[in-house]
Amino acid sequence: QKEVEQNSGPLSVPEGAIASLNCTYSDRGSQSFFWYRQYSGKSPELIMSIYSNGDKEDGRFTAQLNKASQYVSLLIRDSQPSDSATYLCAVAPGTYKYIFGTGTRLKVLA
């Protein structure tokens, strides 16, 4: 079992729809969770961080964390073509490193 798992996609959604990206992790002791967006040929950029169970909203983005079920998700409301990218889930299991999933490729269709 991979430490951080994501569906590779592509996940295709129409413009204006809600995109839902999911991530599961194996280390129950993980405390910090992050979503990064990576455009093709570019480096990852941080979208959201979440540390407590529940939802955290920032503009069109909502991160959801459920530590009991060991999953974290990212919702993108009113998806735009400019949101088309690969979304990386990262987990910090309490040590000094991050573990990344392989990413989900999102395609927003105009």
Partner 1 sequence: KAGVTQTPRYLIKTRGQQVTLSCSPISGHRSVSWYQQTPGQGLQFLFEYFSETQRNKGNFPGRFSGRQFSNSRSEMNVSTLELGDSALYLCASKVSQETQYFGPGTRLLVL
Q: How far is the CB of 69 from partner 1 (least distance, A)?
A: 23
The smaller minimum CB distance to partner 1, of residues 72 and 79, is found at 72
Q: Is residue 21 close enough to count as binding partner 1 by CB under 8 A? A: no
Q: How far is the CB of 24 from partner 1 (least distance, A)?
A: 15
- Applying CB under 8 A, among 13, 24, 50, 101 the residue interacting with partner 1 is 101
Q: What are the angstrom distances between the C-alpha of 21 and each of 15, 61, 95, 96?
A: 16, 11, 25, 26
Q: How many residues bind partner 1 (CB under 8 A)?
A: 20
Q: Is residue 32 close enough to count as binding partner 1 by CB under 8 A? A: yes
The smaller minimum CB distance to partner 1, of residues 60 and 105, is found at 105
Whole-number Å distance between alpha carbons of 96 and 76: 29
39 contacts: CB under 8 Å, gap ≥ 6: 85, 86
Q: Is residue 45 close enough to count as binding partner 1 by CB under 8 A? A: yes
Q: How far is the CB of 17 from partner 1 (least distance, A)?
A: 26
